[in-house]
Amino acid sequence: MPERLNPQPKVLFEQVKYRNEDIAHAGISLINHFAKYSEIMGTREWTITAMQMVSDIRDQSPKALVFPARGINVIFSGFPQTLEARTLDTGVIFSAKEPRFDFVEQTKGLRPWELDVTEKAAIAIALEMNEVYRLRFVRNPLTLVFPKNEYGEVRVVDARLLGKS
Protein backbone atom coordinates (compact mmCIF):
# COMPACT_ATOMS: atom_id res chain seq x y z
CA MET A 1 0.00 0.00 0.00
CA PRO A 2 1.48 3.40 -0.93
CA GLU A 3 2.32 5.75 1.91
CA ARG A 4 -0.02 8.74 2.12
CA LEU A 5 1.72 12.05 1.86
CA ASN A 6 0.67 14.91 4.07
CA PRO A 7 -0.48 17.82 1.93
CA GLN A 8 1.52 21.00 2.21
CA PRO A 9 -0.19 23.53 4.48
CA LYS A 10 -1.72 26.38 2.53
CA VAL A 11 -0.51 29.91 2.96
CA LEU A 12 -3.22 32.42 2.08
CA PHE A 13 -3.23 36.21 1.90
CA GLU A 14 -6.25 38.40 2.32
CA GLN A 15 -6.51 41.34 -0.06
CA VAL A 16 -8.91 44.14 0.82
CA LYS A 17 -10.02 46.90 -1.50
CA TYR A 18 -11.59 49.50 0.79
CA ARG A 19 -14.32 51.93 -0.23
CA ASN A 20 -12.38 55.03 0.83
CA GLU A 21 -15.27 57.46 0.40
CA ASP A 22 -17.48 55.44 2.76
CA ILE A 23 -14.74 55.36 5.39
CA ALA A 24 -14.12 59.10 4.98
CA HIS A 25 -17.85 59.84 5.32
CA ALA A 26 -18.17 57.81 8.54
CA GLY A 27 -14.92 59.32 9.91
CA ILE A 28 -16.07 62.90 9.25
CA SER A 29 -19.41 62.09 10.88
CA LEU A 30 -17.66 60.80 14.01
CA ILE A 31 -15.42 63.86 14.28
CA ASN A 32 -18.33 66.25 13.67
CA HIS A 33 -20.46 64.52 16.31
CA PHE A 34 -17.70 64.90 18.86
CA ALA A 35 -17.09 68.54 17.93
CA LYS A 36 -20.79 69.46 18.10
CA TYR A 37 -22.25 67.35 20.89
CA SER A 38 -19.58 66.21 23.34
CA GLU A 39 -18.92 69.62 24.92
CA ILE A 40 -15.37 68.42 25.51
CA MET A 41 -12.87 71.27 25.38
CA GLY A 42 -10.64 71.13 22.33
CA THR A 43 -12.92 69.21 19.96
CA ARG A 44 -13.86 72.29 17.91
CA GLU A 45 -10.36 72.26 16.40
CA TRP A 46 -10.90 68.73 15.17
CA THR A 47 -12.72 69.84 12.03
CA ILE A 48 -9.44 71.22 10.64
CA THR A 49 -7.59 67.97 11.34
CA ALA A 50 -10.48 66.04 9.78
CA MET A 51 -9.57 67.37 6.35
CA GLN A 52 -6.11 65.78 6.73
CA MET A 53 -7.85 62.53 7.75
CA VAL A 54 -9.93 62.55 4.54
CA SER A 55 -6.78 63.04 2.46
CA ASP A 56 -5.03 60.20 4.33
CA ILE A 57 -8.03 57.91 3.81
CA ARG A 58 -8.09 58.60 0.07
CA ASP A 59 -4.36 57.75 -0.07
CA GLN A 60 -4.84 54.77 2.29
CA SER A 61 -1.99 56.16 4.35
CA PRO A 62 -0.67 53.92 7.14
CA LYS A 63 0.08 56.84 9.47
CA ALA A 64 -2.04 57.45 12.55
CA LEU A 65 -3.76 60.77 13.14
CA VAL A 66 -4.50 62.08 16.65
CA PHE A 67 -7.47 64.28 17.54
CA PRO A 68 -6.53 65.66 21.00
CA ALA A 69 -8.99 67.15 23.48
CA ARG A 70 -9.27 67.68 27.21
CA GLY A 71 -9.57 64.24 28.78
CA ILE A 72 -9.48 62.20 25.58
CA ASN A 73 -7.49 61.59 22.44
CA VAL A 74 -9.25 60.02 19.49
CA ILE A 75 -6.76 58.28 17.23
CA PHE A 76 -7.47 57.24 13.66
CA SER A 77 -5.14 54.32 12.92
CA GLY A 78 -4.79 54.94 9.21
CA PHE A 79 -4.50 51.76 7.13
CA PRO A 80 -2.12 49.50 9.06
CA GLN A 81 0.34 47.69 6.81
CA THR A 82 0.96 44.88 9.28
CA LEU A 83 -0.71 41.52 8.87
CA GLU A 84 -2.27 39.25 11.46
CA ALA A 85 -1.70 35.51 11.04
CA ARG A 86 -4.60 33.17 11.79
CA THR A 87 -4.19 29.42 11.86
CA LEU A 88 -6.64 27.34 9.86
CA ASP A 89 -7.07 23.57 9.75
CA THR A 90 -5.38 23.54 6.34
CA GLY A 91 -2.70 26.18 6.91
CA VAL A 92 -2.46 29.86 7.72
CA ILE A 93 -4.07 33.04 6.44
CA PHE A 94 -2.48 36.46 6.70
CA SER A 95 -5.17 39.11 7.19
CA ALA A 96 -5.01 42.85 6.85
CA LYS A 97 -5.68 44.84 10.02
CA GLU A 98 -8.74 47.04 9.74
CA PRO A 99 -8.64 50.83 10.11
CA ARG A 100 -10.12 52.03 13.40
CA PHE A 101 -10.66 54.84 15.86
CA ASP A 102 -9.22 54.34 19.36
CA PHE A 103 -10.50 56.47 22.24
CA VAL A 104 -7.69 57.04 24.74
CA GLU A 105 -8.54 58.74 28.03
CA GLN A 106 -6.16 61.39 29.28
CA THR A 107 -6.85 61.51 33.02
CA LYS A 108 -4.08 63.88 34.10
CA GLY A 109 -5.47 67.06 35.63
CA LEU A 110 -9.13 66.11 35.29
CA ARG A 111 -11.69 66.02 38.07
CA PRO A 112 -13.68 62.79 38.51
CA TRP A 113 -16.87 64.35 37.14
CA GLU A 114 -14.99 65.54 34.03
CA LEU A 115 -13.76 61.99 33.40
CA ASP A 116 -17.31 60.70 33.79
CA VAL A 117 -18.68 63.23 31.27
CA THR A 118 -15.89 62.45 28.79
CA GLU A 119 -16.42 58.69 29.05
CA LYS A 120 -20.21 58.95 28.71
CA ALA A 121 -19.93 61.23 25.66
CA ALA A 122 -17.41 58.91 23.99
CA ILE A 123 -19.53 55.81 24.63
CA ALA A 124 -22.76 57.47 23.45
CA ILE A 125 -21.16 58.67 20.21
CA ALA A 126 -19.43 55.31 19.66
CA LEU A 127 -22.71 53.43 20.12
CA GLU A 128 -24.44 55.73 17.64
CA MET A 129 -21.64 55.18 15.11
CA ASN A 130 -22.02 51.43 15.64
CA GLU A 131 -25.74 51.60 14.98
CA VAL A 132 -25.76 54.05 12.07
CA TYR A 133 -22.48 53.26 10.29
CA ARG A 134 -22.08 49.62 11.37
CA LEU A 135 -18.66 50.23 12.88
CA ARG A 136 -17.65 47.39 15.21
CA PHE A 137 -17.78 48.59 18.83
CA VAL A 138 -15.12 47.28 21.23
CA ARG A 139 -15.45 48.23 24.90
CA ASN A 140 -11.95 47.85 26.42
CA PRO A 141 -10.24 49.90 25.21
CA LEU A 142 -13.03 51.86 23.57
CA THR A 143 -12.53 51.34 19.84
CA LEU A 144 -14.55 51.65 16.63
CA VAL A 145 -13.37 49.38 13.82
CA PHE A 146 -14.24 49.67 10.12
CA PRO A 147 -15.15 46.04 9.33
CA LYS A 148 -13.52 45.05 6.06
CA ASN A 149 -16.59 43.07 5.00
CA GLU A 150 -18.74 46.20 5.41
CA TYR A 151 -16.29 48.80 4.09
CA GLY A 152 -14.42 46.84 1.46
CA GLU A 153 -14.23 43.90 -0.86
CA VAL A 154 -12.25 40.98 0.55
CA ARG A 155 -10.46 38.46 -1.61
CA VAL A 156 -8.35 35.55 -0.35
CA VAL A 157 -5.43 34.50 -2.56
CA ASP A 158 -3.14 31.47 -2.36
CA ALA A 159 0.40 32.76 -1.72
CA ARG A 160 1.74 30.48 -4.47
CA LEU A 161 -0.33 32.43 -6.99
CA LEU A 162 0.94 35.87 -5.98
CA GLY A 163 3.16 37.43 -8.59
CA LYS A 164 2.09 35.00 -11.31
CA SER A 165 0.30 36.38 -14.33
Cβ atoms of residues 135 and 146 within 8 Å: yes
Question: pLDDT (tens digit, 9 = 90+) per residue, 89-99?
Answer: 888 989 989 99
Q: Is residue 71 part of a domain?
A: yes
Q: Is residue 124 part of a domain?
A: yes
Q: Tell me the CA distances in angstroms from 150 to 17, 100, 142, one per residue in order.
A: 11, 13, 20
Q: Is residue 3 part of a domain?
A: no
| Count of C-beta atoms within a 10 Å radius of residue 92 | 14
Question: pLDDT (tens digit, 9 = 90+) per residue, 99-144?
Answer: 999 999 887 777 777 777 788 888 999 999 999 999 999 988 899 9
Q: What pLDDT sits at residue 106?
A: 80
Q: Is residue 151 part of a domain?
A: yes
- Helix, strand, coil: what percent of the chain each, to 5? 40, 30, 30
Of 97, 93, 27, nearest in space to 62 by CA? 97
Q: What pLDDT sits at residue 4?
A: 57
Q: Is residue 156 part of a domain?
A: yes
Output the 3-class SS for 103-126: EEECCCCCCHHHHHHHHHHHHHHH
Q: Domain range spanning residue 90? A: 10-160
Cβ atoms of residues 37 and 29 within 8 Å: no
Q: Is residue 165 part of a domain?
A: no
